[in-house]
Amino acid sequence: MSELVPGGNTPLPGGTLTLRVPGPFDVSALVTDDGGKVGGDADFVFYNQPTAPGVRLHGDTLTVDPGALRPGATRVTVVVSAADPGTALGTLPAPTLHLTGPGGLAPSRFTPPRPQRETVLLLAELYRRGAGWKLRALGQGYADGLAGLARDFGVDVADDDASSASASGTPRTPSVWSDAASRLSGAASRLAGAATARRSRPTGAPRPVGAAGSAPPVAASAAGAGPGAVAPGTHSGTPGSLGPGATEFLALVNSARAAAGSPPVALDSRLSAAARAHAADMASAGRLGTESRDGTSVHQRVTATGYTYLTVGEHLVSGPRTPDEFVDYCLRTEQARRTLHDPAFTQVGLASVIGSRTGDTYWTVLWARPLMPGDLERTAAEVIELTNRERARAGLPPLASDALLARAAQAHSTDMVARAFYSHTGPDGSQPWDRAAAAGSTRRTIGENIACGQRSAAEVVEGWMNSPGHRANILKREFTHIGIGFAGGGKAGTYWTQLFGA
């Protein structure tokens, strides 16, 4: 076995390579071009999106076939972060990369200098050199976490094509953040924080006493009503008016949804008000993004209108000038088309605003299903069913629903939205077992999984099962009961909590 040092490299043979990083880490990969920038959602491989052309993640192991990468890809960067959110890597064993491959490649290993305050580490990169590929050992850390990673790898997609369009009326290529790149940004936040709390209290140990949030088990929403719907292409609107542009958009969208077998959506003035505010901010700033310059996310704008949702999606796009051009763009783009066709959505709001500096049109389209009576219970039951299905595959008994654990889990999801944080530790210092005790639970062993940004029970359980730490909680034999929490809102859009007990 050869040992690599920081900056060292080794040539790679053709064929599939295996890169494994054992330990309490989440492993991910970024697929980039010569400029070192991602091109979209599919270029970020992590536990909630475990495959891309030529790259597959399973647990702590990446398999990479350089010859099968997307066109233009010249680099694959291996990233590690602590499985427990916000944990400095210096408090954990140093991560070690184990590289194996087809015949002709001697097994290699790389252990970087022990990180200190860093929470994210670029461990190594595979890169094209001439007709072949090499691996370079890195060991570069980020003390500012995924914010630094996003900055360096171009998660913030700029509207380069739109701004370079001619003034002669030639259609401009849309630049999109939404369902492709905003989910990439959301993926980054989930990668940073949706790690399991592997802090089960030993059986027989006394439960720590402390105050814990006990918000009622309802989805959070901010009070207040915003202005009415605004038709696309306009700069102002009469509250409640839809305008011919919105009518045209709705007809085009519902025709496309019908062709895909999805039910129609209806316009909602609250969603349109949130869309208008966000589109106006993007136009003023001259850039696309899920957050405004003051840090307000598009999802927070939705809940600020009084709209409480079960699931939400968005398109943030610049370039198209008419509803027809916008819908045409969506139907030609895989991720955008998936959102437009999603049968889970029943309502939509939209707005477009022309930027005064560039003349580009900035679109925000918000898709949602409102939270109705019984939705929380049905969603929790679906998460439990899917969780127990995974336990059955592993030969484990099912978990029983526990009302007190559910109360604590719902309170935590609601609290994360209301107080704008994402952690197993509450702003008051409370831990999962504190919250369980505050809800009246006397269970002696407690574990917790959290996640944010996932749009369905199936998506969140799949993400947890693709992360070693979350998976360990789901498949822990000692656990006998479970409670589920869900809340819409906050920066990430959706917040999920699994609370286990024994």
- Angle at 296 (CA atoms; ends 292, 299), nearest 5 degrees: 105
At 77-110, the pLDDT tens digits run 999 988 776 678 888 888 899 998 876 566 788 8
| pLDDT attached to residue 33 | 86
Q: Are 226 and 304 in contact (CB under 8 A)?
A: yes
pLDDT of 175 reads 43
Paired sense of beta strands 266-267 and 132-142, if any:
unpaired
Ramachandran area for residue 262 (φ above 0: left; ψ -120 to 50: alpha; else beta)? beta
The DSSP 8-state label assigned to residue 94 in this structure reads: P
What pLDDT sits at residue 148? Answer: 64
Helix axes 183-193, 146-153, angle to 10 degrees: 150
312, 247, 252: which is closest to 278 by C-alpha? 312
Query: E strands within 212-323?
Result: 266-267, 309-318
How high is the pLDDT of residue 37? 77
Q: Tokens for 160?
A: 């380069």
Give the count of beta carbons closer than 10 Å to the beta carbon of residue 70. 15
pLDDT in tens, the chain (502 residues): 578 888 788 888 888 899 999 888 889 899 988 777 777 767 888 877 788 899 999 888 999 999 899 888 999 999 998 877 667 888 888 889 999 887 656 678 888 887 777 888 889 999 998 888 999 888 888 766 666 666 677 654 333 333 333 222 333 344 443 333 333 344 443 433 333 333 332 222 222 222 222 222 222 222 222 222 222 333 323 333 344 578 899 999 999 999 999 999 999 999 999 999 999 998 888 888 888 888 888 999 999 999 999 999 999 888 888 999 999 988 988 778 889 999 999 999 999 999 877 788 899 999 999 999 999 999 999 999 999 999 999 999 999 999 999 999 999 999 999 998 888 888 998 999 999 999 999 999 999 999 888 889 998 998 888 777 888 899 999 999 999 999 999 888 899 999 999 9
Give the Cβ contact number of residue 98 at 10 Å: 17
Q: Which of 55, 195, 29 is nearest to 123 (CA)?
A: 29
| Of residues 406, 419, 493, 500, the one with CA closest to residue 456 | 493
pLDDT of residue 310: 95
- Give the span between the Cα atoms of 305 and 269, in whole angstroms: 9
Are 493 and 299 contacting, i.e. CB atoms less than 8 angstroms apart? Answer: yes
> Alpha-carbon distance 487 to 412, whole Å?
9
Identify the pLDDT of residue 106: 64
Degrees to nearest 5, angle at CA 453 with 449 and 456: 80
| Residue with tokens 């369980």, as numbered in its chain | 436
Amino acid at 372: M
Q: Vertex 49, ends 48 and 55: CA angle to 5°? A: 135
- Pure H helices in 260-342: 269-285, 298-304, 323-332, 334-341
pLDDT of residue 1: 59
Q: What residues contact 390, with CB distance under 8 A and at least 6 apart?
A: 461, 465, 474, 475
